[in-house]
Amino acid sequence: MPQQFFSKLSKDTFIYGFGNIFSKGASLILLPIYTRLFTPAEYGIIEMLTIVTSFLSIILMFGMTGAQNFFFFEQKQNGKQHQARLVTGILQFRLIWGVLILAIAMIFSPFLNSWLFDEELTWVVFAAAFSGAWFYQIMSQGADIYRLLFRPWPYLIITTIHSLISAAIAIGLVIWLNGGLTGYFVGLSIGALASSIGSWWFVRDYINWSNLHKDWWQALLKFGWPLIFGGLAMTIRNSSDRIFIKYFLSFNHMGIYASSIKVAAIASAISGIFILAFTPYSQELLHNNDKAKANKIFELSLRYYGFIFLSLVIIIATFAPYIVKLILPRNYFSSHYMVGILSLSSVFLGLTSFSSLGSWKTKKTSLYSISVVIATCITIIMNYFLIPLHGLYGAAVSSAAGMLSLVFFSFYFSHICWPISFNYATLVIQIFICLLGLLSIHISSLLEEGFQGRFLIMAGFLVILMGISVRKSEIRQLNVMWKQLKS
């Protein structure tokens, strides 16, 4: 086992974990506040406008996040000044592109208001939501510099402060100024603007305003534009469940479903911890000529990712009814049925950090986008048929199945580009065991069994997952790594 690599990765993961859990924990704490400030229908409207801004965010991003991750390490050997010109070129493009896209978005806002919101929103709400998405993109680029420098603490400070400031302003405007939906989105926009200014002040050493670095734009756009289609397809895939819920059901149902997504975000937050830490290391390994070492590390990382985070899904599904009952009003309680399967969807998304490595290595990002388009089509078809039959649970199943298909196809295309010796058989068994566990827990919920029965089901499947994931020869090495981590 490459102990040095995993010791460093584990330390960064714990650091990201501290901040990410704090940030997502704050979001979970805010959920009871928001669900009491807004009715399920109003919360459904917030969710729908969030979906609209997520589409806008993909266009604003234009694949620049992935391009920065890749080219930042490629320019590492040329020195800090070359990296600064790269980073500034991306920032300049985002500023110019952002102004243009926001202007176009505002032109189309009356159409969106009529089509999706029954004329219930004002232009101020759209302007605040759209500009907030832009400010967030600018903030994220600055914060990501620290992540690429393997400095997780500054990254977490910036992102955590952003979450706290935005939430505080939004709640203040809603409660004390009776701002309603307008106050909520204006507050988030103000918080994102302040955070974007702060993030770039911290990484000012990577800003070079000597000229307009448009010489970088051709390479960046060539790398990034295929990711737009993948990003748009992914956003359609991620949001199609709520769009069909509104079409077949109501904003009230959408609000309940949105609350289950927020609770399931526990899995997204914790798996996201690993992804934040793993991404810069994986990019560095991709640029390393020692493929045998990279293969060994990638295979081991995937196996333990599957074990840890699929186990987490089973744990979350077990405790979901008690979490929902504790933090949400009574009219949101039915959301607990969807939490487990939606958590699985988040973990599948994390698997794409492995399944897309070959496409990234060979710069064939269009193949990953094709995988996303296929997964999106599968998700839409399943939503169309399952939501009328099984309601919100059908939407959750469609989401997880679509994400699993993305993992499958992206692994397939990635293997064609740059084969990595993953243990696919173990991953398939891990997923199968997790699905059996979720089905067993769901049946116990329908039968209204007590906590003891659910706990025994959880414990049994966790033991099985451990047995198929952890090799006996690795236990001693894991113990050594744990001691290094504590030191």
Residue 112 burial class via C-beta count within 10 angstroms: exposed 0-12, middle 13-18, buried 19 and up: middle
CA distances 72 to 25, 68, 197, Å, are 31, 6, 22
The two tokens of residue 263 are 């609770």
Domain ranges in the chain? 1-37+225-487, 38-212
Distances (CA, A) of 104 to 56, 133, 215, 221, 458: 10, 14, 26, 20, 50
What are the two backbone dihedrals, phi and then psi, of residue 464, each rounded to the nearest 5 degrees?
-65, -45
Average of per-residue pLDDT values in the chain: 85
Residue 343, helix vs strand vs coil: helix
- Over residues 324-332, mean pLDDT: 85
Q: What is the mean pLDDT of residues 217-238?
A: 81
Q: Letter for the amino acid at 115?
A: W
> For the CA atoms of the chain, what is the radius of gyration?
22
Residue type, 21: I
Residue 20 binned pLDDT confidence (cut-offs 50, 70, 90):
low
pLDDT tens digits, one per residue of 255-282: 899 889 888 888 877 777 777 677 777 7
Cβ atoms of residues 64 and 216 within 8 Å? no
Do residues 105 and 130 make contact, with C-beta atoms less than 8 angstroms apart? Answer: yes
Phi, psi of 43 (to 5 degrees): -65, -30
Return the number of other C-beta atoms located less than 10 Å from residue 153's C-beta: 13
66: tokens are 């992935």
What's the pLDDT tens digit per position in 427-481?
999 999 999 999 999 888 888 777 788 899 999 999 999 999 987 767 666 555 4
Task: Indicate whether this model's pTM tops 0.75.
Answer: no
Which one, of 440, 466, 448, 425, lies nearest residue 312 by Cα? 466
Q: Above 80 in pLDDT, residue 43?
A: yes
